[in-house]
Amino acid sequence: MSLEIIEKLNEALNNVEVSLQNVSNAQDIEDARIASIGRKGAITLLSREMKSVPAENKREVGMAFNAAKNKIEDLLKVAQEKLEDAQSDSEAAGVDLTLPGRKWHAGTKHPVTRVMDECVAIFRRMGFIVADGPEIETVYNNFDALNSPKDHPARDPRDTFYFDDGRLLRTQTSPIQIRVMEKQDPPVRIVAPGRTFRRDTPDATHSMNFHQIEGLYINKDVSLADLKSILLAFAHDMFGDTIGIRLRPHFFPFTEPSVEVDFSCIMCEGKGCRICKNSGWIEIAGAGMVDPNVLESVGYNPEEVSGFAFGFGIERIAMLKYRIGDIRYLYENDKRFLTQF
């Protein structure tokens, strides 16, 4: 009886090998599995005859069953792997290697970054050196050293972001000027680009986080005429030779005299439009001669040196340069907008 069962096992094993030689799909493999080791397969039905095997032969016959079942599982696995390899080769054969590859489009600079880099490049050509400083500043550097009185509105927590330790997010890049002057003797000729923060209500022209670039020139016999020449050269380099500038009297705590700087409207070429409120001019920057109190706060002698300072809003320049009507477009990360640059 034992030999008869072992012969039947070998016969079932041979049948599986034959059925798996020319499989063309996964169903052929599944049919071979069901016919051999399925619930009603040949091996499964033979295992029910173990009860009639003499006790002294049960071990030998049991080992034969296990070996046959393991062999069938190996055959099924090999057949599955061959089928998958054949399908992969077939798919690869269908690829047209002459087709052009997919192009990956590299990103480009954000318009704010582009304008900031262009501003820096212009002032570098005029001999200015780029300076940098921390975005988290002390009250002294941001206000006190810049001659801002204790009751100045900008110092109010409703206008400035303060930390619990008394420091603040800088409201302007002017603190960089203080840091440079405290470490360097005249002459000083720097521009300071960077992010600034104020508690503004976001709208078409205001944001709580924006960018500035400020310039500072300290030396002997520096005059307001020097300031105007620098600003005019910048205007022509950035917007073209047809742009004009004008200086209007104003007040800033850290400059005296102080001026507002207007460029002729690039939208209407100075003829008057909605953007310039029909005036033909657009406010671009604040500037002026450095206040003697500021010079004294950093250890300079106002009797020996003088200088000018100016500050531009990068977003304002970007909006004019690229004809952008709303500052919020610059920060909404809309691909339809950004891909234009």
Taking CA atoms, 104 is separated from 101, 107, 173, 309, in Å, by 9, 9, 38, 44
- Please answer whether residues 208 and 315 qualify as being in contact, where contact means their C-beta atoms are separated by less than 8 angstroms: no
Predicted confidence at residue 154, as pLDDT, reads 78
More confident residue, 72 or 2: 72
Which tokens is 233 given? 């050269």
pLDDT digits (tens, 9 = 90+) for 90-115: 555 566 677 787 777 777 888 899 99
Torsion over CA: 167, 255, 216, 179 (sign): negative
Local structure of residue 162 (DSSP, 8 states): B
pLDDT digits (tens, 9 = 90+) for 236-272: 999 888 888 999 999 998 999 999 999 888 777 767 7
> Which among 54, 73, 72, 80 is positioned nearest to 9, based on CA atoms?
72
Residue 50 has pLDDT above 70, yes or no: no
Contacts of 115 (CB under 8 A, 6+ apart): 314, 317, 318, 321
Contacts of 24 (CB under 8 A, 6+ apart): none
pLDDT category at 51 given cuts 50, 70, 90 is low
Beta strands at 209-219 and 281-290: parallel, antiparallel or unpaired:
unpaired
In whole angstroms, what is the distance from residue 214 CA to residue 123 CA? 10
Predicted confidence at residue 231, as pLDDT, reads 94
Strand partners of residue 212: 194, 313
Predicted confidence at residue 201, as pLDDT, reads 76
Predicted confidence at residue 277, as pLDDT, reads 78
pLDDT category at 190 given cuts 50, 70, 90 is very high
Long-range contacts of 76-85 (CB under 8 A, 24+ apart): 76/20, 76/29, 76/32, 76/33, 78/20, 79/20, 79/23, 79/29, 79/32, 80/26, 80/29, 82/23, 83/23, 83/25, 83/26, 83/29
The CATH classification of domain 111-338, taken from the options 3.30.470.10, 3.30.930.10, 3.40.50.300, 2.60.40.1730: 3.30.930.10
- Half-sphere exposure in the Cβ direction for 321 (13 Å, CA): 22
Q: How far is CA 210 from the centre of its chain?
A: 16
**Span 14-19, mean pLDDT?**
76
**Span 23-45, mean pLDDT?**
76
**Span 139-159, mean pLDDT?**
85
**Span 313-340, mean pLDDT?**
84
For the chain, give every domain's residue range: 2-93, 111-338
pLDDT category at 233 given cuts 50, 70, 90 is very high
Residue 132 has pLDDT above 80, yes or no: yes
If you search the block for the tokens 């016999």, which residue do you land on? 221
Q: At what angle do helices 2-19 and 58-93 cross, to 10 degrees?
A: 0
Residue 224 has pLDDT above 60, yes or no: yes
Residue 184 has pLDDT above 70, yes or no: yes
pLDDT category at 139 given cuts 50, 70, 90 is very high
Could you list the beta-strand ranges (E) of the chain: 129-130, 136-137, 168-169, 188-197, 209-219, 245-252, 255-264, 281-290, 306-313
- Half-sphere exposure in the Cβ direction for 100 (13 Å, CA): 3
In whole angstroms, what is the distance from residue 106 CA to residue 279 CA? 42
pLDDT category at 311 given cuts 50, 70, 90 is very high
Torsion of CA 114, 119, 120, 122, to 10 degrees: 120
Predicted confidence at residue 210, as pLDDT, reads 87
